[in-house]
Chain A
Amino acid sequence: ETGVTQSPTHLIKTRGQQVTLRCSSQSGHNTVSWYQQALGQGPQFIFQYYREEENGRGNFPPRFSGLQFPNYSSELNVNALELDDSALYLCASHLAGFTDTQYFGPGTRLTVL
């Protein structure tokens, strides 16, 4: 067990709404990365936060935004939801090095109707 938790487990939203997903970090980790895993696909990198600042971003539009708090927990916010946003959202807690293991939470399953 990694100690990384995510909430909620599942949620259902309608197109155009906004959603906030939450992630707790593992003790001692200062970096959080968020990934989107569409059905039948591998996880795709959304963005990363290091010491409360966005440190890198994948190919996702600005309506995907995030926060990292002083205790290194994190939020992912998605505005103006689209049907294609339906996916499993994973957060990973880790240190900032390129070789450091990323520890994943169980994910939040988002369904957009």
Chain B
Amino acid sequence: QLQLQESGPRQVKPSETLSLTCVVFGGSISNSGHYWGWIRQAPGKGLEWIGNIFNIGSTYANPSLESRISMSVDTSENKFSLKLSSVTAADTGVYYCARGQVPYSNASPWDYWGQGTLVTVSS
């Protein structure tokens, strides 16, 4: 059974960079052929797609966040990462990592999700 687990600082100061990692258990990122994604939910708001990354590093990002996003994948440690720069209070929320269900397709639902990690942007 595939499991994903997010980790990273729970609090980030305004204007700094938010960094999160998602470790994948029970399956290999390098062999899977799936995209791996980041989705977030601000308090009291709906879900928002941040971006997806493939195992060779190709990425798709939400145009509204693209200028501030950097994503990477580390197949040796079976994990992928997100960096969101110049954060503000509006970036506070629960951040989820997830697996795209359809192999080799960015345009896919996500079938396995992490539990999510709450990140607060505050000084």
Co-complex (A, B): no
